[in-house]
Amino acid sequence: MEIYEYSPAVEVEYGDQIRVRIAKGSISAKKLLWSCGAFLNRLEPFLHKKTINTYAFQLVTEPLSEEMIHRISPIRGAFSDIRPVIDYYCVTNENRLLFGSATAYSEYVPTDLKQWNRKLMLKVFPYLKDVHIDLAWGGPMECSATLFPQMGNHPEHKMCFMFRVIQVFGSRQAM
């Protein structure tokens, strides 16, 4: 088995041999595993139909006092709500709050990530209004349309497999 990292696929042709065209050539194989992230650009129609593309954004606060950490999470767990576009958070080993959310639209990217996430964080933790945000970041993320992992055989190509563990519930997506 060979893994071709940093070789984005441009086109896939199914047949007795599966041919994957990349920017600098092509790769032929008897079997193919789709283990992919966000924004496949319709490269695999079956997976495209089962994927919702969005953007996720996270922030991390300045280090917080033990009292504040206990107020946020006495068990220092990772949490999320159950809305379709979730907020998720956990306390880091450095006593910071890691808080994140996703946009409801795949085309929307906030211009000020700190301010956008701060507003969401304060809805959950209004008592953090005076806490400094040290860092904010984000980027493309995929969600399965069913909100569950996708794994198994491709229904039309028996030598093609899918494995996409899409973590949409909880703060592990951010880490």
- Same domain flag for 81 and 21: no
Please provide residue 134's backbone torsions phi and psi, each rounded to the nearest 5 degrees.
Answer: -80, -35
- Same domain flag for 126 and 163: yes
Range of the domain at 157: 34-175
- Same domain flag for 148 and 172: yes
Position 172 confidence tier, pLDDT thresholds 50, 70, 90: very low
Give the pLDDT confidence of 116-140 residue by residue, as tens digits: 999 999 999 999 999 999 999 998 8
pLDDT at 21 over 50: yes
Enclosing H/E stretch for 61? strand 51-61
- Other CB atoms within 10 A of residue 72 CB: 21
Gap between the Cα atoms of 174 and 2, Å rounded: 29
What pLDDT was estimated at residue 107? 66
What pLDDT was estimated at residue 19? 96
- Same domain flag for 20 and 96: no
- Same domain flag for 143 and 155: yes
Report if pTM > 0.85: no
- Candidates 5, 46, 11; CA nearest to 157 is 46
Gap between the Cα atoms of 22 and 26, Å rounded: 5
Give the pLDDT confidence of 97-108 residue by residue, as tens digits: 999 988 766 667
Gap between the Cα atoms of 152 and 47, Å rounded: 12
Number of domains in the chain: 2
Mean pLDDT estimate for the chain: 86
- Same domain flag for 8 and 77: no
- Same domain flag for 76 and 160: yes
